């Protein structure tokens, strides 16, 4: 999932440089959403791993 966030980030940067503001905005939004989803899943995974390790 982090890979997709990075791909959309690169697409947004390239589109922004070339002047496609609509595409850049959409790709930036998608990359941002995927990044936060990945971050939430990471935190959940760390919490579950810590709880499993204590038992």
* Cα(2)–Cα(4) distance, integer angstroms: 5
Q: For helices 2-18 and 21-54, give the axis angle rounded to 10 degrees.
A: 160
Domain of 32, in residue numbers: 2-50
Residue 55 lies in a domain: no
Query: Does any domain span residue 11?
Result: yes
Q: For residue 7, is it within any domain?
A: yes
Structural domains of the chain, count: 1
pLDDT at 47: 92
What 3-state class would DSSP assign to 55? Answer: coil
Q: Is the pLDDT of residue 52 over 60?
A: yes
Checking if the pLDDT of 55 tops 60, the result is: no
Report, as an integer, the average pLDDT of 2-14: 79
Quick: pLDDT tens for 18-47.
877 787 788 888 888 888 988 898 899 889
Q: Kindly report the CA angle at 11 between 9 and 16, in degrees rounded to 5?
A: 95
pTM higher than the cut 0.85: no
């Amino acid at each position: 999932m982090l890979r997709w966030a990075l791909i959309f980030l690169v697409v947004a940067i390239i589109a922004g440089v070339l002047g496609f503001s609509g595409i850049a905005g959409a790709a930036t939004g998608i990359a941002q959403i995927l990044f936060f989803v990945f971050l939430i899943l990471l935190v959940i995974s760390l919490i579950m791993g810590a709880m499993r390790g204590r038992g």
